[in-house]
Structure 1
Amino acid sequence: MASSNGATKNIRKPKPWKHPQPITMSQLSKMREEFWDTAPHYGGQKEIWDALRVAAESEEALAKAIVESAGIIVSNADLTLCYDERGAKYELPKYVLSEPTNLIQDN
């Protein structure tokens, strides 16, 4: 499905960002799991959250296909703000979409 203006935006990774403190991949993974486990409790449909998770973890071309097939309206091309066809809002933090610039090695 296309957004209301008839065109689906190209999806891209968020601009480089920095976590407040240096973070390891295992810490980042834990934060991501906690977000995805609690995301449906913020409203919206579980199916849309599931589609957004797969899109967030996919390459950009596949992410675009997933978003289109789920009828997700992309407000920000980096997927940080999306809506479903009923108007429910879905906000994704950058840490579920890409790695920070200050990612450090696990010990």
Structure 2
Amino acid sequence: MGCVSSRDKGAAGSTKRVRKPKPWRHTEAITRTQLNRMREEFWDTAPHYGGTREIWDALRAAAEAELSMAQTIIDSAGVIVQNPDLTLCYDERGARYDLPKYVLSEPTNLIRDNNDS
């Protein structure tokens, strides 16, 4: 039995298993080049939203990795996963990290562009 503010690590700790985000659709069809541009812009500006550069770097590495490696990165960085698809995470100091789905997976309405092979 714990105090009112104590939490079970399984309920709110970094032990939540990372999973792929559910399929999503962008407001309009976009190309891979446009998607990559959006991702780069997000990652370049993300540290300005708060939190630490180290956690943002770990989240980027996890977002770009396979699921098993992503889980290892998240666990090693001490990231507390609120949503298993990584759209909402916290660090050990309580800083909040919101990740848009477009940095985590591709939209269902992604179209080919001249840069796709």
Which TM-score band (shorter chain)? over 0.9
Distance (Å, rounded) in 2 between the aligned partners of 1:50 and 1:5: 27
Aligned to 1:80: 87
Structure 2 unaligned segments of length 5 or more: list them.
1-6
Identity %: 70
Task: Give the Cα separation in 1 of the matches to 2:103 and 2:89.
Answer: 14
2:30 is aligned to 23
The TM-score normalised by the length of structure 2 is 0.86
* Distance across 2 between alignment mates of 1:71 and 1:5: 16
Partner residue of 1:98?
Answer: 105
Deviations 1:61-93 (Å, cap 9, x if unpaired)?
100000000000000000000000000000000
Is 2:72 the partner of 1:65?
yes
- Give deviations 1:50-69, integer Å, cap 9, x for gaps: 00000000011100000000
Partner residue, 1:6: 9
Rg larger in structure: 2
Count of residue pairs the alignment pairs up? 104
Q: Secondary structure at the match of 1:79?
A: coil
Q: Which runs of 5+ in 1 are unaligned?
A: none
Residues of 2 paired with 1:74 and 1:10: CA distance?
Answer: 8
Q: TM-score, normalised by structure 1?
A: 0.94
Match of 2:3 in 1: none
Give 2:51's aligned residue.
Answer: 44
User: Aligned partners of 2:8 and 2:36: how far apart in 1?
Assistant: 35
